Amino acid sequence: MAKSLVVVESPAKAKTINKYLGRDYKVVASMGHIRDLPKSRLGVDVDNDFEEQYEGILSRKKVIRELKDAAKTATDIYVATDPDREGEAIGWHIAQELGGKKRKIHRLLFNEITKKAILEAFKHPKKIDVRMVDAQRARRVLDRLVGYKISPLLWDKVRRGLSAGRVQSVALKLICDREAEIEKFVPEEYWNLFARLAGPQPPEFEAKLLKKSGETIRVTSEAQSNAILRDLATSAWVVTSVTTKERKRQAPPPFITSKLQQTARFPVKKTMMLAQQLYEGIELPGLGVDGPIGLITYMRTDSVRVSEDALVAVRGQIRRVFGEEYLPAKANYFKTKADAQDAHEAIRPTSMQYDPETVRPYLSQDQFSLYRLIWNRFLASQMMPATFDETIVDVTSAAYVFRVKGTVPKFAGWMATYGLTPGGAEQQDQPLPSGEGAAEDDDEVSGVLPPLSEGDPLELRQLRPEQKFTLPPPRFTEATLVKELEENGIGRPSTYASIIGVIQDRDYVNKLGGKFKPSPLGRMISDLLAKSFDDIIDVEYTRSLEEDLDKIEQGETDYVRTLGAFYKKFKKDLARAGKEMIDLKKGVDIGEACDKCGSPMLKRVGKFGPFIACSAYPDCTNTREVEGAEPEPETGDEEIEPCENCGKPMAVKRGRFGQFLACTGYPECKTTRKLIATKQGGLRAAKPDQILDELCPRCGSSLVLKQGRFGEFTACTKYPECRYVKHKTTGLKCPKDADKGGEVVERKSKRGKVFFGCSNYPDCDFVLWNRPVLEKCPKCDAPYLVEKTTKKFGRQLRCNNEECDYARSEALPDTAA
């Protein structure tokens, strides 16, 4: 009997959907895209209406074969890929590969992977939306034209391995422009003046200088500050105004993709990965649920719309948990942005049945944190406003007015979901929605106020001047860069993670303390592109292209017209850039003579970025780093320690494994220090090598504690003559090399994966990928067992003998303890 074929994108999604369908359906995964433009050539015929030359993705060859085999007996094929442009395009490619006269292609659309949503989608199958596909095709071709036309130009003029991208180059320009603003910024001095006052009743409070003679005052020097202090030294203090009013803070809307990326305390890529896992399904075995359950709705959306069923469910949950007073008379509705695609709902939990604490045992800590963030935001969006009584007090002394503001919570409203109810523990890892709960005016001070009335005399306890300086605009973090891209209409939420990843992978930016700083290479590339392709990296132009893609989807323009208009100017810019772009391979004269031979010094670009070199190379090998070429490694106020061997300063260099510290006395002194990533995303200098009292068992020299690519390790000081490295032993003698003193030790592969091998490597090649345990196999008397953890069986002890099937499950002790 023929089965209907359902095609989804991932195995996890297939597994979740499969349990909702009967035997008449077969659910298979395409593993994402199955066809794409070729890697080896442009793959777009620009002279023939930009016709694409798609081909099967090599790594999907087996998947395509399996899909075709599954489709042979199917009369109906249901494309159930993600409900966005990318998913629509994947579905279109699948239909191209599997379609036929005897097979009908249907499109299934659902916003959540729940039984109700899946079965409802089957009741109302649709056709693949060709306009959405055309919009995605146009985006893909635009990206291909920019990438495959400009990147070779950069290879020719700068060096191979560089890339340009339609959206990534705009993101890079935003970061470079911000850095330029920071460098040009000139701090301005200003002073704040605070008065500590006591009223008729405690407590004391502090007010800040606001006005003089009715005009707002800005104190810009110590002399001006001292003059005001003298004016106030003997004057009386009195309350001249007390204003109390009720303020409301409205509930925030539920999450859209960009707001989730900005709010979650994870890198954007990790946020999307976790959200994908929650969307595709989580196993909840202890809750009587068969198979995985999708916990959230689709995570790529720019709409704040919520279904009526979900509104009914969340209002019931609020009534049960918080009470009737937290529930508005009617559901809260939020306005979606004008340029939002609005294809599906906001990000929300799929069911109020699975609250965060109930499902916590089945989630990783990161999954739980993100799920709770989404849960709380959704509940908050349908709750009453938070209300506060705000009191503003003006105090006058001589001609000066000081102000203090006191805020008293009156009703928690939606903020109750964040642990701000009486008796509720505040959830410190759950940030309030951006801008909510923050003081509206940073120039005013807030605090607990005593009862005060107009005309009350006050006693001055202290006058406190505070010198400050204006600050430059901050560098972008991942969250603020996403916000900037979103506000400027650059890219789409689904592309932000890849954009941020590419500019880091290409070494165009460095991430310090969680903030992006452009590398000299990044700034150079951005400058070159700005001169030759000013519109390509122009924010307004890129935004207009995004709008054109939206118009294709809406049927207001078409694929060929959009690409034709773009390519007409792009082709001219490309030809001009080929002639006019600076050739950095030849080098750029910096107007400086070599201090060794007198030849001109040139700015060049090498494997690790720009550097200054003598034009007489190879006869003269004088080189130096570009000034400011490497970012500061420290994220705190500590200075880099000098070289422990010669006392000269250490400088940041870049090698094949990234940045490191090297002595400026090189080549006479070859001391280097590793730079280690901090939890905040910055870099710090590793500890200097530490000579140990322990001797090398091979040559008798001292051992040294060093810092390697994968952490600390102990090795011989006579390296490379003696290559002994001390490894953490497992206590097991090597089965192949015990007679030569070999024992099984913990090692790490080139990719950092832990494995277990003989200490006499490379003379002995014995290796285990699972940790050995010193216990004889009770079934075959093998000298050891191995520890293995799987999703199905949990943690087990197994015999490593292939002919023995002994295995037992048990809770093993924590190896880190």
643 Cβ contact list (under 8 Å, min separation 6)? 649, 650, 663, 664, 665, 669, 671
Catalytic residues, by residue number, are 298
Lookup: tokens for 711: 């952490």
Residue holding tokens 């008065």? Answer: 195
Beta strand 4-8 with 76-79: parallel, antiparallel or unpaired?
parallel
Helix (H) or strand (E) holding 150: helix 130-157
Helix (H) or strand (E) holding 467: strand 457-469
Q: Is 145 left (phi over 0), alpha (psi -120 to 50) or beta?
A: alpha
Half-sphere exposure of 386 (CA within 13 A, CB side): 24
Cα distance between residue 809 and residue 804, in whole Å: 16
Cα distance between residue 741 and residue 714, in whole Å: 19
CB 367 within 8 A of CB 274: yes
Strand order in the sheet with 76-79: 25-29, 4-8, 76-79, 104-107
CA geometry: angle at 507 spanning 506 and 510, to 5°? 135
Question: What is the full DSSP assignment across 745-809?
Answer: EEEE-TTS-EEEEETTTTT---EESS-EES---TTT--S-EEEEEETTTEEEEEE--TT---EEE
- Counting every residue written for the chain, the total comes to 817
Output Rg (C-alpha) for the chain, integer angstroms: 33
Question: What is the full DSSP assignment across 111-124?
Answer: SS-SHHHHHHHHHS
The 10 Å Cβ neighbour count of residue 259 is 24
Residue holding tokens 């003997």? Answer: 234
CB 382 within 8 A of CB 189: no
Residue holding tokens 């959009």? Answer: 562
Strand order in the sheet with 725-726: 690-695, 702-708, 711-716, 725-726
Beta strand 104-107 with 76-79: parallel, antiparallel or unpaired?
parallel
Cα distance between residue 482 and residue 435, in whole Å: 16
Question: What is the full DSSP assignment across 501-546?
Answer: HHHHHTTSEEEETTEEEE-HHHHHHHHHHHHH-TTTT-HHHHHHHH
